[in-house]
Protein backbone atom coordinates (compact mmCIF):
# COMPACT_ATOMS: atom_id res chain seq x y z
CA UNK A 1 0.00 0.00 0.00
CA UNK A 2 1.34 3.41 -0.93
CA UNK A 3 2.28 5.70 1.99
CA UNK A 4 -0.01 8.53 0.81
CA UNK A 5 -3.03 6.19 0.53
CA UNK A 6 -2.24 4.76 3.95
CA UNK A 7 -2.01 8.16 5.64
CA UNK A 8 -5.24 9.33 4.00
CA UNK A 9 -7.04 6.21 5.27
CA UNK A 10 -5.48 6.40 8.74
CA UNK A 11 -6.46 9.99 9.53
CA UNK A 12 -10.21 9.41 10.02
CA UNK A 13 -9.42 6.30 12.08
CA UNK A 14 -7.21 8.42 14.34
CA UNK A 15 -10.17 10.71 15.03
CA UNK A 16 -12.25 7.64 15.93
CA UNK A 17 -9.49 6.36 18.23
CA UNK A 18 -9.39 9.69 20.06
CA UNK A 19 -13.19 9.57 20.40
CA UNK A 20 -12.92 6.01 21.69
CA UNK A 21 -10.42 7.09 24.33
CA UNK A 22 -12.71 9.93 25.44
CA UNK A 23 -15.60 7.48 25.67
CA UNK A 24 -13.52 5.02 27.70
CA UNK A 25 -12.59 7.74 30.17
CA UNK A 26 -16.12 9.11 30.44
CA UNK A 27 -17.68 5.66 30.96
CA UNK A 28 -14.90 4.13 33.04
CA UNK A 29 -14.30 1.40 30.45
CA UNK A 30 -11.26 -0.91 30.68
CA UNK A 31 -9.85 -1.94 27.31
CA UNK A 32 -7.14 -4.57 26.95
CA UNK A 33 -5.64 -5.47 23.55
CA UNK A 34 -3.13 -8.29 23.05
CA UNK A 35 -0.88 -8.24 19.96
CA UNK A 36 0.70 -11.55 19.03
CA UNK A 37 2.41 -12.86 15.90
CA UNK A 38 5.73 -13.89 14.46
CA UNK A 39 8.82 -11.73 14.72
CA UNK A 40 8.64 -8.82 12.22
CA UNK A 41 4.86 -9.23 11.82
CA UNK A 42 4.21 -5.56 12.61
CA UNK A 43 3.10 -5.43 16.23
CA UNK A 44 5.16 -2.37 17.17
CA UNK A 45 4.02 -0.26 14.21
CA UNK A 46 0.38 -1.08 14.88
CA UNK A 47 0.64 -0.26 18.57
CA UNK A 48 2.25 3.06 17.68
CA UNK A 49 -0.52 3.84 15.16
CA UNK A 50 -3.18 3.22 17.81
CA UNK A 51 -1.51 5.00 20.72
CA UNK A 52 0.13 7.94 18.93
CA UNK A 53 -2.85 10.32 19.16
CA UNK A 54 -4.12 9.18 22.58
CA UNK A 55 -3.07 10.67 25.91
CA UNK A 56 -0.16 8.45 27.11
CA UNK A 57 -1.43 8.77 30.68
CA UNK A 58 -4.54 6.93 29.54
CA UNK A 59 -3.15 4.55 26.92
CA UNK A 60 -0.27 2.37 28.15
CA UNK A 61 1.96 0.07 26.13
CA UNK A 62 3.27 -3.02 27.95
CA UNK A 63 6.27 -4.89 26.52
CA UNK A 64 7.73 -6.99 29.30
CA UNK A 65 11.32 -8.29 29.23
CA UNK A 66 12.13 -11.92 29.93
CA UNK A 67 11.08 -12.95 33.45
CA UNK A 68 13.48 -12.46 36.34
CA UNK A 69 14.62 -15.29 38.60
CA UNK A 70 11.94 -14.30 41.10
CA UNK A 71 9.21 -14.09 38.46
CA UNK A 72 10.05 -17.58 37.28
CA UNK A 73 8.98 -18.88 40.69
CA UNK A 74 5.65 -16.99 40.70
CA UNK A 75 2.24 -17.97 39.40
CA UNK A 76 2.69 -17.61 35.65
CA UNK A 77 0.08 -14.86 35.18
CA UNK A 78 1.25 -12.88 38.21
CA UNK A 79 3.68 -10.61 36.36
CA UNK A 80 0.94 -9.52 33.94
CA UNK A 81 -1.77 -8.69 36.49
CA UNK A 82 -0.26 -5.35 37.68
CA UNK A 83 -0.44 -4.04 34.11
CA UNK A 84 -4.16 -4.66 33.59
CA UNK A 85 -6.23 -1.54 32.87
CA UNK A 86 -8.05 0.48 35.52
CA UNK A 87 -11.22 2.45 34.80
CA UNK A 88 -10.81 4.68 31.77
CA UNK A 89 -7.55 3.05 30.66
CA UNK A 90 -6.46 1.36 27.45
CA UNK A 91 -3.60 -1.15 27.70
CA UNK A 92 -1.81 -2.53 24.63
CA UNK A 93 0.31 -5.64 25.21
CA UNK A 94 3.23 -6.05 22.79
CA UNK A 95 3.27 -9.81 23.35
CA UNK A 96 1.53 -11.11 26.42
CA UNK A 97 1.03 -14.21 28.52
CA UNK A 98 0.86 -16.11 25.22
CA UNK A 99 4.66 -16.13 25.16
CA UNK A 100 4.35 -19.44 26.98
CA UNK A 101 2.41 -21.04 24.14
CA UNK A 102 4.72 -19.60 21.47
CA UNK A 103 8.37 -18.70 21.90
CA UNK A 104 8.74 -20.47 25.26
CA UNK A 105 7.38 -23.70 23.84
CA UNK A 106 9.21 -23.61 20.51
CA UNK A 107 12.55 -22.51 21.98
CA UNK A 108 12.30 -24.99 24.89
CA UNK A 109 12.14 -22.27 27.56
CA UNK A 110 9.13 -24.05 29.09
CA UNK A 111 8.46 -27.73 29.69
CA UNK A 112 5.63 -29.61 28.01
CA UNK A 113 3.88 -29.75 31.38
CA UNK A 114 4.13 -25.97 31.79
CA UNK A 115 2.74 -25.35 28.32
CA UNK A 116 -0.10 -27.81 28.86
CA UNK A 117 -0.95 -26.15 32.18
CA UNK A 118 -0.94 -22.74 30.49
CA UNK A 119 -3.29 -23.83 27.71
CA UNK A 120 -5.65 -25.16 30.37
CA UNK A 121 -5.45 -22.08 32.61
CA UNK A 122 -5.42 -19.23 30.05
CA UNK A 123 -9.13 -19.47 29.14
CA UNK A 124 -10.03 -19.54 32.84
CA UNK A 125 -7.85 -16.50 33.52
CA UNK A 126 -9.38 -14.61 30.59
CA UNK A 127 -12.87 -15.59 31.71
CA UNK A 128 -12.20 -13.83 35.02
CA UNK A 129 -11.01 -10.70 33.21
CA UNK A 130 -14.04 -10.58 30.92
CA UNK A 131 -16.50 -11.37 33.72
CA UNK A 132 -15.04 -8.47 35.70
CA UNK A 133 -15.85 -6.10 32.84
CA UNK A 134 -12.54 -5.81 30.98
CA UNK A 135 -13.00 -5.58 27.21
CA UNK A 136 -10.41 -8.07 25.94
CA UNK A 137 -9.23 -8.23 22.32
CA UNK A 138 -6.71 -10.79 21.07
CA UNK A 139 -5.07 -10.24 17.67
CA UNK A 140 -2.73 -12.51 15.75
CA UNK A 141 -0.74 -10.66 13.07
CA UNK A 142 -0.02 -13.12 10.27
CA UNK A 143 2.78 -12.98 7.69
CA UNK A 144 4.30 -15.71 5.55
CA UNK A 145 7.90 -16.87 5.69
CA UNK A 146 8.93 -15.12 2.48
CA UNK A 147 7.76 -11.77 3.84
CA UNK A 148 9.31 -12.46 7.23
CA UNK A 149 12.70 -13.21 5.66
CA UNK A 150 12.56 -9.99 3.66
CA UNK A 151 11.87 -7.98 6.83
CA UNK A 152 14.69 -9.72 8.68
CA UNK A 153 17.03 -8.79 5.84
CA UNK A 154 15.91 -5.15 6.05
CA UNK A 155 16.76 -5.10 9.74
CA UNK A 156 20.19 -6.57 9.10
CA UNK A 157 20.93 -3.93 6.46
CA UNK A 158 19.53 -0.91 8.35
CA UNK A 159 21.63 0.18 11.38
CA UNK A 160 18.59 2.02 12.77
CA UNK A 161 16.54 -1.21 12.82
CA UNK A 162 19.26 -3.67 13.79
CA UNK A 163 18.43 -3.34 17.50
CA UNK A 164 15.19 -5.21 16.76
CA UNK A 165 17.15 -8.39 16.02
CA UNK A 166 18.09 -10.79 18.81
CA UNK A 167 19.81 -14.19 18.95
CA UNK A 168 16.38 -15.71 19.54
CA UNK A 169 15.11 -14.18 16.29
CA UNK A 170 18.00 -15.72 14.35
CA UNK A 171 17.43 -19.14 15.86
CA UNK A 172 13.66 -18.93 15.37
CA UNK A 173 14.10 -18.56 11.58
CA UNK A 174 14.75 -22.30 11.34
CA UNK A 175 11.60 -23.18 13.30
CA UNK A 176 8.88 -21.61 11.20
CA UNK A 177 6.86 -24.85 11.01
CA UNK A 178 7.18 -25.43 14.76
CA UNK A 179 5.79 -21.96 15.42
CA UNK A 180 2.86 -22.72 13.12
CA UNK A 181 2.08 -25.93 15.02
CA UNK A 182 2.34 -24.14 18.37
CA UNK A 183 0.04 -21.38 17.16
CA UNK A 184 -2.62 -23.84 16.02
CA UNK A 185 -2.51 -25.70 19.35
CA UNK A 186 -2.84 -22.33 21.11
CA UNK A 187 -5.84 -21.35 18.98
CA UNK A 188 -7.59 -24.66 19.62
CA UNK A 189 -7.21 -24.28 23.38
CA UNK A 190 -7.81 -20.55 23.84
CA UNK A 191 -10.17 -19.39 21.05
CA UNK A 192 -13.33 -18.97 23.12
CA UNK A 193 -16.68 -17.28 22.68
CA UNK A 194 -15.90 -14.75 25.41
CA UNK A 195 -12.26 -14.14 24.36
CA UNK A 196 -11.89 -15.04 20.66
CA UNK A 197 -8.80 -14.69 18.51
CA UNK A 198 -8.84 -12.46 15.43
CA UNK A 199 -6.27 -13.18 12.69
CA UNK A 200 -5.21 -10.26 10.47
CA UNK A 201 -3.22 -10.62 7.22
CA UNK A 202 -0.04 -8.59 7.73
CA UNK A 203 1.87 -9.39 4.56
CA UNK A 204 1.09 -5.74 3.76
CA UNK A 205 1.73 -4.01 7.08
CA UNK A 206 0.00 -0.74 6.25
CA UNK A 207 -3.14 -2.51 5.09
CA UNK A 208 -2.94 -4.79 8.11
CA UNK A 209 -2.84 -1.82 10.51
CA UNK A 210 -5.89 -0.24 8.92
CA UNK A 211 -7.77 -3.55 9.02
CA UNK A 212 -6.97 -4.17 12.68
CA UNK A 213 -7.86 -0.65 13.82
CA UNK A 214 -11.14 -0.75 11.87
CA UNK A 215 -12.00 -4.12 13.43
CA UNK A 216 -11.19 -2.91 16.96
CA UNK A 217 -13.35 0.20 16.59
CA UNK A 218 -16.23 -1.73 15.03
CA UNK A 219 -16.33 -4.17 17.97
CA UNK A 220 -16.78 -1.41 20.54
CA UNK A 221 -20.12 0.26 21.28
CA UNK A 222 -20.97 3.65 19.86
CA UNK A 223 -18.13 5.63 21.39
CA UNK A 224 -19.46 9.12 20.74
CA UNK A 225 -19.38 11.32 23.82
CA UNK A 226 -20.69 14.87 23.69
CA UNK A 227 -17.70 17.09 24.31
CA UNK A 228 -18.03 20.35 26.19
CA UNK A 229 -17.32 23.32 23.96
CA UNK A 230 -14.23 25.22 25.07
CA UNK A 231 -14.39 29.00 24.88
CA UNK A 232 -10.71 29.80 24.39
CA UNK A 233 -10.16 33.37 25.60
CA UNK A 234 -7.84 35.78 23.82
CA UNK A 235 -4.79 37.12 25.62
CA UNK A 236 -5.50 40.29 27.52
CA UNK A 237 -2.20 41.75 26.39
CA UNK A 238 0.21 41.58 23.43
CA UNK A 239 2.15 38.30 23.25
CA UNK A 240 5.15 38.41 25.59
CA UNK A 241 8.70 37.55 24.65
CA UNK A 242 10.30 34.92 26.87
CA UNK A 243 13.42 36.24 28.62
CA UNK A 244 16.31 34.40 30.31
CA UNK A 245 18.80 35.90 32.77
CA UNK A 246 21.03 33.13 34.07
CA UNK A 247 21.00 30.63 31.18
CA UNK A 248 20.30 31.10 27.48
CA UNK A 249 18.83 28.54 25.06
CA UNK A 250 21.39 26.95 22.76
CA UNK A 251 21.16 28.20 19.15
CA UNK A 252 19.17 26.18 16.59
CA UNK A 253 20.78 23.19 14.90
CA UNK A 254 22.66 24.09 11.75
CA UNK A 255 22.38 21.77 8.78
CA UNK A 256 25.83 20.71 7.45
CA UNK A 257 26.73 22.33 4.16
CA UNK A 258 26.62 20.07 1.14
CA UNK A 259 29.99 19.21 -0.39
Say what the pLDDT of residue 1 is.
85
For the chain of 259 residues, list the mean pLDDT of each consecutive stretch of 10: 94 96 96 94 95 96 95 96 98 97 94 97 98 98 89 87 81 88 97 98 95 97 75 86 89 86
Say what the pLDDT of residue 134 is.
98
Order of strands across the sheet that contains 90-94: 59-62, 90-94, 31-37, 135-142, 197-201
Say what the pLDDT of residue 154 is.
87
Say what the pLDDT of residue 77 is.
98
Kindly report the backbone phi and psi dihedral angles of residue 35, in degrees, each rounded to the nearest multiple of 5, phi listed first: -115, 115
Say what the pLDDT of residue 209 is.
97
Backbone torsion region of residue 105, taken as left when φ is above 0, otherwise alpha when ψ lies between -120 and 50, otherwise beta: alpha
Give the number of C-alpha atoms closer than 13 A to the C-alpha of residue 90, restricted to the C-beta side.
27
Say what the pLDDT of residue 224 is.
75
CB-CB neighbours of 146 under 10 Å: 8
> Domain extents for the chain?
3-218
Say what the pLDDT of residue 149 is.
85
- Residues 6+ away with beta carbon under 8 Å from 121: 76, 77
What is the number of helices (H) and of strands (E) in the chain?
9, 5
Say what the pLDDT of residue 249 is.
85
Nearest by Cα to 200 from 41, 85, 70? 41
C-alpha 56/C-alpha 153 separation (Å) is 32
Superfamily, domain 3-218: P-loop containing nucleotide triphosphate hydrolases (3.40.50.300)
Amino acid sequence: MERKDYEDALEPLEHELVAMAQWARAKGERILVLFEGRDTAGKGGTIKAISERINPRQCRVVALPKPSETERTQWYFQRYVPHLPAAGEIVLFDRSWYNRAGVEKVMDFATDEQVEAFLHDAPRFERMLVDDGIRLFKYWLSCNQEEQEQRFAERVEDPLKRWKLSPIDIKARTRFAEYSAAREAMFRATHTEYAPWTVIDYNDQKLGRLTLIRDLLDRLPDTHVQQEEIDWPALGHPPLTEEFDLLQPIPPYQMPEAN
